[in-house]
């Protein structure tokens, strides 16, 4: 009985440690990608990453976020999943307020304009993004009642 309780607690602690380790790894990756000026960190777990430079909706200050993306021609699709949380990420609100933005992939920087996509285009891009993320975005969608927005950044 005592052994079963200890085993259950150890399993729980290992799960917590795994979650914190994943968080720290992603945090470290984002830090490295941004502060190496794109030299280190272009991919994360085989997925391409960009640095989004947006203008804060409330502050007007430049904000930087590292996001997975999918590129087709001069369009970059990003997902406002926020890890399946109930609220959209802050960068989503920034782009809704100020759609002009910059993105950086490696050492290349592009200026663009962000739009939210809907309807058939949404379904098409959602399937592509979810496939790239190995079903991760569908799992996030199950965790929240909001419809996870997709943003398309068109290079100007």
| 76 CB-near residues (< 8 Å, 6+ apart) | 50, 69, 70, 103, 112, 152, 153, 155
What share of the chain in percent tops pLDDT 70? 99
The whole-angstrom separation of Cα 149 and Cα 94 is 13
Q: Check residue 22 and give its pLDDT.
A: 76
What is the value of pTM for the model shown? 0.86
Tens digit of each residue's pLDDT (9 = 90 or more) over 36-67: 999 998 988 889 999 999 999 999 999 999 99
| 102 CB-near residues (< 8 Å, 6+ apart) | 52, 53, 109, 110, 111, 112
Domains in the chain (CATH in brackets) are 3-155 (2.30.110.10)
> 22: alpha, beta or left, given left = phi > 0 and alpha = psi -120 to 50?
alpha
Pairing status of strand 47-55 against strand 43-44: antiparallel
Tens digit of each residue's pLDDT (9 = 90 or more) over 67-84: 999 999 999 999 999 999
């Amino acid at each position: 009985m005592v052994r079963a309780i200890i085993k259950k607690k150890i399993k729980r602690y290992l799960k917590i440690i795994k979650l914190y380790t994943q968080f720290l790894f992603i945090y470290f990756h984002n830090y490295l990608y941004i502060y190496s000026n794109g030299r280190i960190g272009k991919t994360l777990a085989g997925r391409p990453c960009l640095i989004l430079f947006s203008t804060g909706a409330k502050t007007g200050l430049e904000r930087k976020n590292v996001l997975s993306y999918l590129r087709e021609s001069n369009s970059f699709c990003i997902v406002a999943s926020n890890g399946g949380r109930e609220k959209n990420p802050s960068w989503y609100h920034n782009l809704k307020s100020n759609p002009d933005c910059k993105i950086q992939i490696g050492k290349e920087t592009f200026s663009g304009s962000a739009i939210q996509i809907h309807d058939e285009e949404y379904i098409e891009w959602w399937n592509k993004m979810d496939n790239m993320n190995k079903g991760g975005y569908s799992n996030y969608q199950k965790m929240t009642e909001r419809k996870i927005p997709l943003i398309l950044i068109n290079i100007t």
